[in-house]
Homo-oligomer: A and B are copies of this chain.
Amino acid sequence: MAAPVRSRPSGVGRNPEFGLPSVPGASQEEIRRQNLGAVLRYVHLHGPTSRAELTSRLGLNRSTIGALAMDLAASGLVTEEAPTTARRAGRPSLVVSPRSDRVYAHALSIEADRLRAARVGLGGRILDLREASRPGGMSGCEAVAPLAELVRDMQRSVVPDALLVGGAVAVTDTTRGRDGTIRISGADEALNAALEAEFVAGPGFVAGDMADLAALAEHVRGVATGINDLVYLHGDVGVSAGIIIGGRLMVGHRGHSGKVGHMVVNPDGLPCGCGSRGCWETEIGEAALLRHAGRQPGGPEVVAEVLRAATDGEPAALAAVERVADWLGFGVANLVNVVNPDAVVFGGSLREVYTIGAATVRRRLDTMALPASREHVRLLAAALGRDAALIGAAELAFDKLLADPLNVDVAGRVGTADPA
């Protein structure tokens, strides 16, 4: 738009919800809950922090921070300790640390070829991680029982007073059929029922889209911290995006946003598993990479081999990556024109495609994206690797605790169907 930056209507994008009345006033109790959440969220995201720093970061006074930290410590959510090295004279400020060892969430993922289950401690530390393969054709629902098995297995080594605060599962909508073909599963209405049957689910166990949760993880703990307008692209057998707008995940009307793999970019292109033709996925998905490289269709190992060969300069593999990178830049340019993000992050196998073909991606962006959007956009390689979605799922699971830290009932309602 023609408006200069200074006149950007900050009131529009950020704060008021047009059409909705403001929230009525908060009570003292609500304010306290909010402040407890602010302190716990801060140490959850930034790690051990002194009371003095919390005081200045959160804009609350020193005695308030002290009282909040003591409450959180009494509930077993944080520890407070004197710093090991006092840097200046006077009484040192106590350091508040999240109890990653004790407070944890279950983070699960139902990926195209794999099932993974982790225990993630407050503060985002992966405490335990198990995985199993996902056989071709196994539905999301069918994946729940083996996931629960992984969880039960992990639970055996949990310390007695540990506090499970919730769980979340990251789900992809692409599966590999028994015949090796890629399929797109519809909304899996039965998934929740399956989760409930295996876990004491209730409202504390939530599902999210794989790319959405990976985007969240990169935003909170990865390469995109501090970036509030973000397109995260995840590529494996399919391609999808997690889009963060003004610091909030865009989920769409029914939670189906970010299906960027099914933007049609090439009207004369190949048929796609979704029934359309020339979808972005048909040009930049792993099947396209293997096809261009002259390889037979295959799993992650074959894809990794092609990417390695391209890095080593093998002509056919390099040409294949460059061709995928060209179409990658094409779609990224379209998304940049629509979203005007601060950054685009490449994850999954697209991370390596971008790393190898960055010049090609940029060339497309230079010819197709509007200058106003193009000149400020950063292109970044994802930092969290294949753990991103699990870390994002844990963030989702922790969210209730962080909103209301002393409501231990939250934890009580969410647990595993323990065999004991």
Contact = CB atoms under 8 A, between A and B. Distances in A.
A88 interface: no
A171 B2 contact: yes
A400 B24 contact: no
A255 B212 contact: no
Given A264-B265, A264-B368, A254 B8 contact: yes
A186 B253 contact: no
Contacts of A241: 338
Task: Quickly give the copy total for this chain.
Answer: 2
Contacts of A98: none
A216 B14 CA distance: 14
Nearest to A31: B25
Nearest to A18: B220
B58 A37 contact: no
Contacts of A367: 275-276
Nearest to A209: B1
A187 interface: yes
Contacts of A197: none
B22 A191 contact: no
Interface in A23-44: 23-26, 31-32, 34-35, 37-38, 41-42
Given A247-B17, A373-B256, A22 B4 contact: no
B219 A370 contact: no
Contact of A255 (B3, B23, B140): B3
A310 B58 CA distance: 61
Interface stretch (A79-87, A129-137, A156-164, A329-337): A329-337
Interface residues of A, number: 121
A399 B12 contact: yes
A252 B264 contact: no
Contact of A370 (B13, B20, B140, B184): B184
B58 A24 contact: yes
Interface in A235-275: 241, 243, 245-260, 262-268, 274-275
The 4 closest A-B pairs by CB, nearest first: A252-B340, A25-B31, A1-B209, A3-B207
13 contacts: A2-B140, A2-B207, A4-B207, A8-B251, A13-B248, A18-B395, A254-B376, A259-B340, A260-B337, A262-B370, A276-B368, A334-B334, A338-B338
Interface of A: 1-9, 11-26, 31-32, 34-35, 37-38, 41-42, 45, 57-60, 110, 140, 168, 171-173, 184-192, 195, 205-210, 212, 216, 219-220, 225-226, 228-229, 241, 243, 245-260, 262-268, 274-276, 330, 333-335, 337-342, 367-373, 376-377, 395-396, 399-400, 402-403
